[in-house]
Chains A and B, each alone.
Chain A
Protein backbone atom coordinates (compact mmCIF):
# COMPACT_ATOMS: atom_id res chain seq x y z
CA UNK A 1 0.00 0.00 0.00
CA UNK A 2 1.06 3.57 -0.66
CA UNK A 3 4.20 2.37 -2.42
CA UNK A 4 4.28 5.41 -4.70
CA UNK A 5 3.90 7.88 -1.83
CA UNK A 6 6.90 9.90 -0.76
CA UNK A 7 9.25 8.59 1.90
CA UNK A 8 8.56 10.47 5.14
CA UNK A 9 10.93 8.66 7.46
CA UNK A 10 14.14 6.86 6.56
CA UNK A 11 16.58 5.25 8.96
CA UNK A 12 20.14 4.63 7.85
CA UNK A 13 22.04 1.96 9.84
CA UNK A 14 20.45 3.36 12.98
CA UNK A 15 21.69 1.92 16.26
CA UNK A 16 22.06 2.48 19.99
CA UNK A 17 24.53 0.76 22.26
CA UNK A 18 24.57 1.33 26.02
CA UNK A 19 27.36 -0.03 28.24
CA UNK A 20 28.54 -2.37 25.44
CA UNK A 21 25.01 -3.70 25.04
CA UNK A 22 23.49 -3.18 21.58
CA UNK A 23 19.82 -2.30 22.06
CA UNK A 24 19.23 -1.35 18.42
CA UNK A 25 21.56 -2.40 15.60
CA UNK A 26 21.95 -1.32 12.03
CA UNK A 27 18.31 -0.63 11.20
CA UNK A 28 17.73 0.76 7.70
CA UNK A 29 14.10 1.11 6.71
CA UNK A 30 11.83 3.50 4.82
CA UNK A 31 8.35 4.55 5.82
CA UNK A 32 6.14 6.28 3.26
CA UNK A 33 3.34 8.79 3.72
CA UNK A 34 0.25 7.01 5.04
CA UNK A 35 2.13 3.81 5.84
CA UNK A 36 1.16 1.94 9.01
CA UNK A 37 4.17 -0.12 10.00
CA UNK A 38 3.66 -2.70 12.73
CA UNK A 39 6.81 -3.50 14.70
CA UNK A 40 6.78 -6.93 16.30
CA UNK A 41 9.28 -9.19 18.00
CA UNK A 42 9.95 -10.94 21.28
CA UNK A 43 10.58 -9.11 24.57
CA UNK A 44 13.93 -7.32 24.53
CA UNK A 45 14.02 -7.27 20.72
CA UNK A 46 14.59 -3.50 20.76
CA UNK A 47 11.12 -2.44 19.58
CA UNK A 48 10.56 0.34 22.12
CA UNK A 49 14.24 1.32 22.05
CA UNK A 50 13.96 1.81 18.28
CA UNK A 51 10.85 3.98 18.67
CA UNK A 52 12.49 6.13 21.37
CA UNK A 53 15.32 6.98 18.96
CA UNK A 54 12.84 8.31 16.40
CA UNK A 55 11.32 10.72 18.96
CA UNK A 56 14.84 11.40 20.22
CA UNK A 57 13.97 10.50 23.79
CA UNK A 58 17.23 8.52 23.51
CA UNK A 59 20.22 9.39 21.38
CA UNK A 60 21.34 7.12 18.53
CA UNK A 61 24.96 6.00 18.94
CA UNK A 62 25.37 4.96 15.31
CA UNK A 63 23.74 5.70 11.97
CA UNK A 64 21.11 8.34 11.49
CA UNK A 65 17.55 8.94 10.37
CA UNK A 66 15.87 11.41 8.09
CA UNK A 67 12.49 13.05 8.55
CA UNK A 68 11.19 14.42 5.27
CA UNK A 69 14.77 14.24 3.93
CA UNK A 70 16.22 16.23 6.85
CA UNK A 71 18.80 14.60 9.08
CA UNK A 72 17.42 14.49 12.61
CA UNK A 73 20.48 16.38 13.87
CA UNK A 74 19.45 19.37 11.76
CA UNK A 75 16.10 19.56 13.53
CA UNK A 76 15.80 20.89 17.08
CA UNK A 77 14.68 18.18 19.55
CA UNK A 78 11.45 20.06 20.29
CA UNK A 79 10.54 20.53 16.63
CA UNK A 80 11.38 16.88 15.92
CA UNK A 81 9.20 15.71 18.81
CA UNK A 82 6.34 17.87 17.65
CA UNK A 83 6.61 16.33 14.16
CA UNK A 84 7.18 12.78 15.40
CA UNK A 85 4.45 12.31 17.99
CA UNK A 86 4.53 9.46 20.46
CA UNK A 87 1.90 7.58 22.45
CA UNK A 88 3.40 5.46 25.20
CA UNK A 89 2.35 2.18 26.76
CA UNK A 90 0.84 4.05 29.72
CA UNK A 91 -1.11 7.28 29.17
CA UNK A 92 0.83 9.41 31.73
CA UNK A 93 -1.75 12.19 31.68
CA UNK A 94 -0.90 15.45 33.43
CA UNK A 95 -3.02 16.52 36.44
CA UNK A 96 -5.91 18.76 35.36
CA UNK A 97 -8.67 18.50 32.80
CA UNK A 98 -8.72 16.56 29.56
CA UNK A 99 -8.80 19.85 27.61
CA UNK A 100 -5.64 21.02 29.43
CA UNK A 101 -3.90 17.80 28.46
CA UNK A 102 -4.88 18.20 24.82
CA UNK A 103 -3.77 21.84 24.78
CA UNK A 104 -0.37 20.97 26.26
CA UNK A 105 1.54 20.22 23.03
CA UNK A 106 0.43 23.27 21.01
CA UNK A 107 0.94 25.50 24.10
CA UNK A 108 4.63 24.67 24.01
CA UNK A 109 4.80 26.64 20.75
CA UNK A 110 2.51 29.38 22.12
CA UNK A 111 -0.41 28.09 20.07
CA UNK A 112 -3.76 28.20 21.85
CA UNK A 113 -5.95 25.35 20.62
CA UNK A 114 -9.54 26.43 19.83
CA UNK A 115 -12.36 24.81 21.79
CA UNK A 116 -13.77 23.53 18.51
CA UNK A 117 -10.53 21.70 17.69
CA UNK A 118 -10.45 20.10 21.14
CA UNK A 119 -14.05 18.92 20.72
CA UNK A 120 -13.21 17.56 17.28
CA UNK A 121 -10.21 15.61 18.60
CA UNK A 122 -12.28 14.20 21.45
CA UNK A 123 -15.03 13.21 19.03
CA UNK A 124 -12.42 11.39 16.91
CA UNK A 125 -11.34 9.30 19.89
CA UNK A 126 -14.90 8.65 21.09
CA UNK A 127 -14.81 10.97 24.09
CA UNK A 128 -17.26 13.61 22.92
CA UNK A 129 -18.13 16.04 25.74
CA UNK A 130 -15.24 14.99 28.00
CA UNK A 131 -13.22 18.23 27.63
CA UNK A 132 -13.93 19.71 31.07
CA UNK A 133 -13.53 16.45 32.98
CA UNK A 134 -10.61 15.91 35.32
CA UNK A 135 -8.27 13.10 34.31
CA UNK A 136 -8.38 11.48 37.78
CA UNK A 137 -11.30 9.13 37.26
CA UNK A 138 -10.77 7.97 33.68
CA UNK A 139 -10.58 4.27 32.89
CA UNK A 140 -7.37 2.91 31.36
CA UNK A 141 -8.92 2.85 27.89
CA UNK A 142 -10.28 6.40 28.19
CA UNK A 143 -6.92 7.68 29.46
CA UNK A 144 -5.14 6.07 26.52
CA UNK A 145 -7.60 7.65 24.09
CA UNK A 146 -6.90 11.06 25.68
CA UNK A 147 -3.16 10.41 25.26
CA UNK A 148 -3.83 9.59 21.60
CA UNK A 149 -5.85 12.81 21.12
CA UNK A 150 -3.12 14.76 22.94
CA UNK A 151 -0.52 13.47 20.48
CA UNK A 152 -2.80 14.27 17.51
CA UNK A 153 -3.26 17.85 18.75
CA UNK A 154 0.33 18.54 17.68
CA UNK A 155 -0.57 17.55 14.08
CA UNK A 156 2.40 15.17 13.83
CA UNK A 157 3.91 14.12 10.49
CA UNK A 158 4.66 10.66 11.91
CA UNK A 159 2.99 9.03 14.90
CA UNK A 160 4.78 6.47 17.06
CA UNK A 161 2.62 4.10 19.10
CA UNK A 162 4.51 2.12 21.73
CA UNK A 163 2.27 -0.81 22.69
CA UNK A 164 -0.67 1.55 23.27
CA UNK A 165 -3.07 -1.25 24.22
CA UNK A 166 -0.82 -3.63 26.15
CA UNK A 167 -1.85 -2.33 29.58
CA UNK A 168 -5.60 -2.56 28.82
CA UNK A 169 -8.24 -5.27 29.29
CA UNK A 170 -9.66 -6.96 26.19
CA UNK A 171 -12.69 -4.69 25.80
CA UNK A 172 -10.70 -1.47 26.23
CA UNK A 173 -8.01 -2.88 23.94
CA UNK A 174 -10.55 -3.39 21.14
CA UNK A 175 -12.03 0.08 21.67
CA UNK A 176 -8.64 1.81 21.56
CA UNK A 177 -7.54 -0.24 18.55
CA UNK A 178 -10.72 0.73 16.70
CA UNK A 179 -10.15 4.41 17.50
CA UNK A 180 -6.52 4.22 16.35
CA UNK A 181 -7.42 2.41 13.14
CA UNK A 182 -10.27 4.80 12.27
CA UNK A 183 -8.28 7.96 12.98
CA UNK A 184 -5.12 6.74 11.25
CA UNK A 185 -7.04 5.69 8.14
CA UNK A 186 -9.25 8.80 8.02
CA UNK A 187 -6.32 11.19 8.51
CA UNK A 188 -3.99 9.16 6.28
CA UNK A 189 -1.43 9.29 9.14
CA UNK A 190 2.02 7.79 8.86
CA UNK A 191 2.35 5.49 11.81
CA UNK A 192 4.87 3.12 13.44
CA UNK A 193 3.25 0.89 16.02
CA UNK A 194 5.07 -1.44 18.38
CA UNK A 195 3.08 -4.43 19.54
CA UNK A 196 3.84 -7.86 20.94
CA UNK A 197 0.44 -8.98 19.68
CA UNK A 198 0.72 -10.26 16.10
CA UNK A 199 -3.08 -10.28 15.75
CA UNK A 200 -3.26 -6.60 16.69
CA UNK A 201 -0.54 -5.88 14.14
CA UNK A 202 -2.57 -7.75 11.53
CA UNK A 203 -5.65 -5.67 12.34
CA UNK A 204 -3.89 -2.31 12.14
CA UNK A 205 -0.75 -2.45 9.99
CA UNK A 206 -0.05 -2.47 6.23
CA UNK A 207 3.53 -3.63 6.64
CA UNK A 208 5.36 -5.50 9.37
CA UNK A 209 8.88 -5.08 10.71
CA UNK A 210 10.13 -8.02 12.75
CA UNK A 211 12.96 -7.19 15.15
CA UNK A 212 15.13 -9.69 16.96
CA UNK A 213 18.14 -8.88 19.11
CA UNK A 214 17.84 -5.23 18.09
CA UNK A 215 18.21 -6.09 14.39
CA UNK A 216 15.82 -6.28 11.46
CA UNK A 217 14.84 -9.88 11.01
CA UNK A 218 12.27 -9.28 8.32
CA UNK A 219 10.28 -6.42 6.80
CA UNK A 220 7.55 -6.47 4.20
CA UNK A 221 3.84 -6.46 3.45
CA UNK A 222 1.60 -7.71 6.22
CA UNK A 223 0.45 -11.03 4.71
CA UNK A 224 3.86 -11.95 3.39
CA UNK A 225 5.73 -11.41 6.67
CA UNK A 226 3.09 -13.00 8.87
CA UNK A 227 2.91 -16.06 6.59
CA UNK A 228 6.68 -16.55 6.80
CA UNK A 229 6.64 -16.06 10.58
CA UNK A 230 3.74 -18.50 10.95
CA UNK A 231 5.57 -21.26 9.08
CA UNK A 232 8.71 -20.99 11.22
Chain B
Protein backbone atom coordinates (compact mmCIF):
# COMPACT_ATOMS: atom_id res chain seq x y z
CA UNK B 1 0.00 0.00 0.00
CA UNK B 2 2.79 2.40 0.99
CA UNK B 3 4.58 1.65 -2.27
CA UNK B 4 1.34 2.40 -4.11
CA UNK B 5 1.09 5.77 -2.39
CA UNK B 6 4.76 6.79 -2.58
CA UNK B 7 5.57 6.73 -6.25
CA UNK B 8 6.81 8.99 -9.01
CA UNK B 9 3.43 10.80 -9.20
CA UNK B 10 3.60 11.70 -5.51
CA UNK B 11 7.11 13.07 -5.83
CA UNK B 12 6.12 15.04 -8.92
CA UNK B 13 3.09 16.41 -7.02
CA UNK B 14 5.22 17.46 -4.07
CA UNK B 15 7.66 19.27 -6.39
CA UNK B 16 4.76 21.11 -8.01
CA UNK B 17 3.30 21.92 -4.57
CA UNK B 18 6.66 23.37 -3.52
CA UNK B 19 6.74 25.56 -6.64
CA UNK B 20 3.18 26.83 -6.05
CA UNK B 21 3.84 27.40 -2.34
CA UNK B 22 7.01 29.25 -3.32
CA UNK B 23 4.91 31.67 -5.39
CA UNK B 24 2.65 32.23 -2.37
CA UNK B 25 5.71 32.88 -0.17
CA UNK B 26 7.02 35.44 -2.70
CA UNK B 27 3.67 37.27 -2.52
CA UNK B 28 3.90 37.11 1.29
CA UNK B 29 7.38 38.70 1.14
CA UNK B 30 6.18 41.41 -1.27
CA UNK B 31 3.40 42.20 1.22
CA UNK B 32 6.01 42.34 3.99
CA UNK B 33 7.98 44.99 2.04
CA UNK B 34 4.80 47.10 2.14
CA UNK B 35 4.57 46.42 5.90
CA UNK B 36 1.56 44.14 5.51
CA UNK B 37 2.27 41.20 7.76
CA UNK B 38 0.51 38.01 6.73
CA UNK B 39 3.49 35.67 7.23
CA UNK B 40 2.04 33.61 10.05
CA UNK B 41 -1.41 33.21 8.52
CA UNK B 42 0.04 32.40 5.08
CA UNK B 43 2.46 29.76 6.36
CA UNK B 44 -0.16 28.13 8.58
CA UNK B 45 -2.69 28.13 5.71
CA UNK B 46 -0.18 26.65 3.26
CA UNK B 47 0.95 23.87 5.59
CA UNK B 48 -2.58 23.15 6.78
CA UNK B 49 -3.98 23.11 3.25
CA UNK B 50 -1.27 20.74 2.01
CA UNK B 51 -1.62 18.37 4.96
CA UNK B 52 -5.45 18.32 4.76
CA UNK B 53 -5.62 17.72 1.03
CA UNK B 54 -2.87 15.08 1.19
CA UNK B 55 -4.76 13.21 3.91
CA UNK B 56 -7.99 13.42 1.88
CA UNK B 57 -6.11 12.26 -1.23
CA UNK B 58 -4.66 9.30 0.69
CA UNK B 59 -8.08 8.33 2.05
CA UNK B 60 -9.62 8.64 -1.41
CA UNK B 61 -6.80 6.56 -2.91
CA UNK B 62 -7.85 3.76 -0.58
CA UNK B 63 -11.62 4.29 -0.78
CA UNK B 64 -11.78 4.67 -4.55
CA UNK B 65 -10.72 1.06 -4.84
CA UNK B 66 -13.51 -0.02 -2.49
CA UNK B 67 -17.07 -1.15 -3.30
CA UNK B 68 -19.47 1.34 -4.97
CA UNK B 69 -21.86 1.50 -1.99
CA UNK B 70 -19.20 3.17 0.16
CA UNK B 71 -19.70 6.31 -1.97
CA UNK B 72 -23.04 6.83 -0.16
CA UNK B 73 -21.25 7.09 3.19
CA UNK B 74 -18.50 9.32 1.82
CA UNK B 75 -21.05 11.69 0.29
CA UNK B 76 -23.21 11.63 3.45
CA UNK B 77 -20.16 12.64 5.52
CA UNK B 78 -19.43 15.47 3.07
CA UNK B 79 -23.05 16.66 3.28
CA UNK B 80 -22.93 16.86 7.09
CA UNK B 81 -19.62 18.75 6.99
CA UNK B 82 -20.98 21.11 4.31
CA UNK B 83 -24.16 21.76 6.35
CA UNK B 84 -22.10 22.56 9.46
CA UNK B 85 -19.88 24.95 7.50
CA UNK B 86 -22.63 26.91 5.77
CA UNK B 87 -24.87 26.95 8.87
CA UNK B 88 -22.13 28.94 10.61
CA UNK B 89 -23.05 31.87 8.39
CA UNK B 90 -26.52 31.86 9.91
CA UNK B 91 -25.69 30.78 13.42
CA UNK B 92 -28.00 33.37 14.92
CA UNK B 93 -30.94 31.66 13.27
CA UNK B 94 -32.03 28.70 15.34
CA UNK B 95 -32.31 25.55 13.23
CA UNK B 96 -29.79 26.75 10.64
CA UNK B 97 -27.84 23.48 10.72
CA UNK B 98 -30.92 21.33 10.26
CA UNK B 99 -32.24 23.51 7.41
CA UNK B 100 -28.80 23.42 5.76
CA UNK B 101 -28.46 19.66 6.15
CA UNK B 102 -31.91 18.93 4.74
CA UNK B 103 -31.37 21.40 1.91
CA UNK B 104 -27.93 20.13 0.92
CA UNK B 105 -28.84 16.46 1.35
CA UNK B 106 -32.02 16.77 -0.70
CA UNK B 107 -30.61 19.16 -3.30
CA UNK B 108 -27.42 17.25 -4.02
CA UNK B 109 -28.77 13.77 -3.24
CA UNK B 110 -31.63 14.08 -5.73
CA UNK B 111 -29.35 15.54 -8.42
CA UNK B 112 -26.63 12.88 -7.98
CA UNK B 113 -29.16 10.02 -7.99
CA UNK B 114 -31.07 11.37 -10.98
CA UNK B 115 -27.95 12.17 -13.01
CA UNK B 116 -26.47 8.75 -12.28
CA UNK B 117 -29.70 7.11 -13.43
CA UNK B 118 -29.74 9.23 -16.60
CA UNK B 119 -26.10 8.45 -17.32
CA UNK B 120 -24.74 11.98 -16.86
CA UNK B 121 -22.62 10.64 -14.00
CA UNK B 122 -20.95 7.33 -14.73
CA UNK B 123 -21.81 4.83 -11.99
CA UNK B 124 -18.84 3.94 -9.85
CA UNK B 125 -17.15 5.40 -6.84
CA UNK B 126 -14.34 6.98 -8.88
CA UNK B 127 -16.80 9.33 -10.64
CA UNK B 128 -19.71 9.60 -8.20
CA UNK B 129 -17.54 10.80 -5.29
CA UNK B 130 -15.53 13.54 -7.10
CA UNK B 131 -18.55 14.89 -9.00
CA UNK B 132 -20.78 14.51 -5.93
CA UNK B 133 -18.28 16.43 -3.81
CA UNK B 134 -18.20 19.19 -6.42
CA UNK B 135 -22.01 19.48 -6.25
CA UNK B 136 -21.97 19.41 -2.43
CA UNK B 137 -19.28 22.11 -2.22
CA UNK B 138 -21.23 24.40 -4.53
CA UNK B 139 -24.50 23.68 -2.72
CA UNK B 140 -22.71 24.57 0.53
CA UNK B 141 -21.68 27.96 -0.85
CA UNK B 142 -25.13 28.67 -2.29
CA UNK B 143 -26.82 27.64 0.94
CA UNK B 144 -24.48 29.82 3.02
CA UNK B 145 -25.16 32.80 0.75
CA UNK B 146 -28.93 32.23 0.92
CA UNK B 147 -29.04 31.98 4.71
CA UNK B 148 -26.70 34.93 5.24
CA UNK B 149 -28.75 37.06 2.84
CA UNK B 150 -32.03 36.00 4.47
CA UNK B 151 -30.70 36.94 7.92
CA UNK B 152 -29.48 40.36 6.77
CA UNK B 153 -32.64 41.09 4.73
CA UNK B 154 -34.96 40.28 7.62
CA UNK B 155 -32.83 42.12 10.17
CA UNK B 156 -32.77 45.24 8.01
CA UNK B 157 -36.54 45.08 7.36
CA UNK B 158 -37.83 44.35 10.85
CA UNK B 159 -40.32 47.23 10.58
CA UNK B 160 -41.86 45.90 7.35
CA UNK B 161 -41.99 42.34 8.65
CA UNK B 162 -43.65 43.39 11.92
CA UNK B 163 -46.03 45.73 10.09
CA UNK B 164 -47.20 42.78 8.02
CA UNK B 165 -47.58 40.62 11.15
CA UNK B 166 -49.43 43.43 12.91
CA UNK B 167 -51.94 43.43 10.04
CA UNK B 168 -52.63 39.73 10.55
CA UNK B 169 -50.22 38.27 7.98
CA UNK B 170 -48.82 34.76 8.33
CA UNK B 171 -45.05 34.66 9.02
CA UNK B 172 -44.37 33.14 5.58
CA UNK B 173 -46.21 36.04 3.95
CA UNK B 174 -44.39 38.60 6.10
CA UNK B 175 -40.96 37.38 4.91
CA UNK B 176 -41.93 36.16 1.42
CA UNK B 177 -40.13 38.93 -0.45
CA UNK B 178 -36.94 38.37 1.61
CA UNK B 179 -37.01 34.63 0.94
CA UNK B 180 -37.31 35.42 -2.78
CA UNK B 181 -34.45 37.93 -2.80
CA UNK B 182 -32.21 35.58 -0.75
CA UNK B 183 -32.88 32.76 -3.17
CA UNK B 184 -32.14 34.90 -6.22
CA UNK B 185 -28.97 36.35 -4.67
CA UNK B 186 -27.68 32.90 -3.74
CA UNK B 187 -28.00 31.70 -7.33
CA UNK B 188 -26.13 34.62 -8.91
CA UNK B 189 -22.70 32.84 -8.85
CA UNK B 190 -24.16 29.67 -10.41
CA UNK B 191 -26.00 31.68 -13.10
CA UNK B 192 -22.91 33.79 -13.84
CA UNK B 193 -20.75 30.66 -14.10
CA UNK B 194 -23.10 29.21 -16.69
CA UNK B 195 -23.41 32.51 -18.51
CA UNK B 196 -19.66 33.13 -18.76
CA UNK B 197 -18.68 29.53 -19.42
CA UNK B 198 -15.87 29.37 -21.97
CA UNK B 199 -15.76 33.15 -22.43
CA UNK B 200 -14.42 34.36 -19.08
CA UNK B 201 -13.04 31.10 -17.79
CA UNK B 202 -12.21 27.51 -18.64
CA UNK B 203 -13.14 25.66 -15.46
CA UNK B 204 -11.00 23.11 -13.68
CA UNK B 205 -12.96 20.02 -14.62
CA UNK B 206 -12.58 20.65 -18.35
CA UNK B 207 -8.92 21.58 -17.96
CA UNK B 208 -8.35 18.38 -15.96
CA UNK B 209 -10.12 16.21 -18.53
CA UNK B 210 -8.11 17.73 -21.40
CA UNK B 211 -4.86 17.31 -19.46
CA UNK B 212 -5.71 13.66 -18.81
CA UNK B 213 -6.30 13.00 -22.50
CA UNK B 214 -10.07 13.39 -23.07
CA UNK B 215 -11.13 14.92 -26.40
CA UNK B 216 -11.46 18.72 -25.85
CA UNK B 217 -14.99 18.88 -27.36
CA UNK B 218 -16.28 16.17 -25.04
CA UNK B 219 -14.49 17.81 -22.10
CA UNK B 220 -16.16 21.12 -22.99
CA UNK B 221 -19.64 19.59 -23.19
CA UNK B 222 -19.11 17.69 -19.97
CA UNK B 223 -18.07 20.93 -18.28
CA UNK B 224 -21.45 22.32 -19.25
CA UNK B 225 -23.08 19.17 -17.85
CA UNK B 226 -21.24 19.72 -14.56
CA UNK B 227 -22.24 23.38 -14.31
CA UNK B 228 -25.86 22.60 -15.14
CA UNK B 229 -25.84 19.94 -12.41
CA UNK B 230 -24.30 22.46 -10.00
CA UNK B 231 -27.05 24.92 -10.86
CA UNK B 232 -29.77 22.29 -10.36
CA UNK B 233 -28.43 20.96 -7.05
CA UNK B 234 -27.58 24.42 -5.67
CA UNK B 235 -30.95 25.79 -6.72
CA UNK B 236 -32.81 22.93 -5.07
CA UNK B 237 -30.67 23.21 -1.92
CA UNK B 238 -31.30 26.93 -1.60
CA UNK B 239 -35.02 26.52 -2.30
CA UNK B 240 -35.38 23.93 0.46
CA UNK B 241 -33.16 25.62 3.06
CA UNK B 242 -34.76 29.08 2.66
CA UNK B 243 -38.20 27.50 2.92
CA UNK B 244 -37.19 25.67 6.10
CA UNK B 245 -35.29 28.54 7.68
CA UNK B 246 -38.14 31.04 7.49
CA UNK B 247 -40.08 29.04 10.08
CA UNK B 248 -37.16 29.42 12.50
CA UNK B 249 -37.25 33.21 12.24
CA UNK B 250 -40.50 33.25 14.25
CA UNK B 251 -41.69 32.03 17.63
CA UNK B 252 -44.63 29.67 18.02
CA UNK B 253 -46.82 32.74 18.63
CA UNK B 254 -45.69 34.12 15.24
CA UNK B 255 -43.41 36.79 16.68
CA UNK B 256 -40.24 37.76 14.83
CA UNK B 257 -37.29 36.43 16.83
CA UNK B 258 -34.63 37.06 14.17
CA UNK B 259 -33.89 40.62 15.23
CA UNK B 260 -30.62 42.42 15.79
CA UNK B 261 -30.06 44.63 18.83
CA UNK B 262 -31.91 44.61 22.11
CA UNK B 263 -35.41 45.54 23.11
CA UNK B 264 -36.13 48.88 24.76
Contacts and interface: CB of A to CB of B under 8 A. Distances in A.
Interface residues of A, number: 31
B247 to A, nearest CB: 15
B260 interface: no
Nearest to B263: A18
B261 to A, nearest CB: 12
A28 B253 CA distance: 23
B164 to A, nearest CB: 7
Interface string A41-61: 000100011000001111100
Given A77-B253, A78-B170, A88-B159, A104 B164 contact: yes
B166 A79 contact: no
B169 to A, nearest CB: 5
Contact of B255 (A57, A92, A105, A108): A57
A90 interface: yes
Interface string B229-264: 000000000000000000000010111100000111
Contact of A151 (B162, B167, B264): B167
A144 to B, nearest CB: 12
Contact of A78 (B251, B254, B263): B254
Contacts of A57: 162, 165-166, 255-256
B255 A78 contact: no
Contacts of A77: 165, 253-255
A108 B170 contact: yes
B165 A92 contact: no
Interface of A: 18-19, 23, 44, 48-49, 55-59, 77-79, 81-82, 85-86, 88, 90, 92, 94-95, 104-105, 108-109, 147, 150-151, 154
Interface of B: 159-160, 162-170, 173, 177, 251, 253-256, 262-264
